[in-house]
Amino acid sequence: MSGRVVRACFLFTVFLGLLACSRPAEVETTGFIVDGLQVIFKDTPGNPVVAGGFYLKGGTNYMGTRQAGIEIFLFNAAIRGTKTRTKDELNTRLESMGTSFKVAAGYDYTGLTFQCILDRFDPSWDLFTDVLLHPRFDPRELELVRQRMIAVIGAENDQPGRNVRRVADDLFYEGHPYGVSVYGFASTAAGLSRKELLQYHRGDITKNRALLVIVGDLDLQDVTRQVRELARRLPLGPELRLPTLAFDPGRPDLAVARRNLPTNYILGLFTAPRPGHPDYPAFTAAMRILSDRLHEELHDRRGLATDPGAGFDRRIANHGYIHVTTTRPDSTVMVIFQTIDQMILEPIPETRLKHALATSVTRQLLENESVLNQLEQLALWEIVGEGWQKADQYLPEIRSLRPKDIQTVMRK
């Protein structure tokens, strides 16, 4: 099998959990509605950095095949100028304040975020809302965005590491909204017109689809006042009704694609729960332990593979994965199944579990130092999970895990 890209969709009866950050107990987070716009505000006393994000719920499930990728296109075009500021004028102003914009794309949402220093929040907020409400959509800038989108989509076919992911998703999520790339199709990006973007901006960026998240050392009343001004200028839109995303990938399947490559790329996918599921904490821990064991067995001890590991995605209809690059695929896959069987049949040693859990907790606490990461996690838990409030429960549940919990979830 040398010189092939192998996509193996292993449908294990185990569940995935999402890596998510917990908030320090002394920090207050609150959720509320302002004139029909859903808001989450996290106060971070003493932090000199502020972040904000505007998210559209639905993702590929909302856009469908015909419009897949339009929201990423729209937000990337929006940050290239407004009706009152050209791209250069906007960028000059942002750079002078140390403010940055970022487009956030997922299968269940699309978002635009910003980050700034505390004393530049008001002017940064003004630019952020100007971009949201009054994008210029300059034809020359649209062409640049179009070419970049087409290049990104093309890379999913040209780069083996990304191509194996694309084909695995196509196979695993066949007939499901996730079977379409968040970037859509090259043909869609190539044919998307300025008129279509304007129509989508007017009709689909609505309060009923939106989630606004703000994290920073800010006064709640001031935030509410500024949010109300934004909400006043957004249309309410129809109530968001999305098809259920639960799915059954069916029987185990295998896709093999021949490529003229010096090695083989293997990716196995299996079903997993969304954040908030009872098995979620135990499975996140199990995946991290499995990843470490695969690296030890395949790389350190046997020299069969490079960069072996296991992990999980962050979707409503979720999956876990095992990835490996190897010139000896048959032996490698055999060791993968042996390693999984060992975790099913034998309890994890207490000392090893404690080390894995301590590493997980430390990693998340370090990640939580960034206000932008805190913002993204709040949005993720609210949209993909079962509410932002459940993020608080995750770390205590992780700390309370025992070897039997890992073994139980691996057996499911």
Q: Where are the domains of the chain?
A: 4-18+252-411, 29-232
> What tens digit of pLDDT does each residue of 121-177 get?
999 999 999 999 999 999 999 999 999 999 999 988 888 888 899 889 888 998 899
Same topology for domains 4-18+252-411 and 29-232, yes or no? yes
> What tens digit of pLDDT does each residue of 24-66 get?
435 699 999 999 999 999 999 999 999 999 999 999 999 988 8
pTM of the model: 0.88
pLDDT at 157: 80
Q: What are the residue ranges in the chain where pLDDT is below 70?
A: 1-27, 245-246
pLDDT at 199: 97
Q: Which CATH class is domain 29-232?
A: alpha beta
pLDDT at 294: 97
Phi then psi for residue 184, to 5 deg, are 75, -150
pLDDT at 15: 29
Q: Between 3.30.830.10, 3.30.420.40, 1.20.1740.10, 2.60.120.890, what CATH number should domain 4-18+252-411 receive?
A: 3.30.830.10
pLDDT at 204: 95
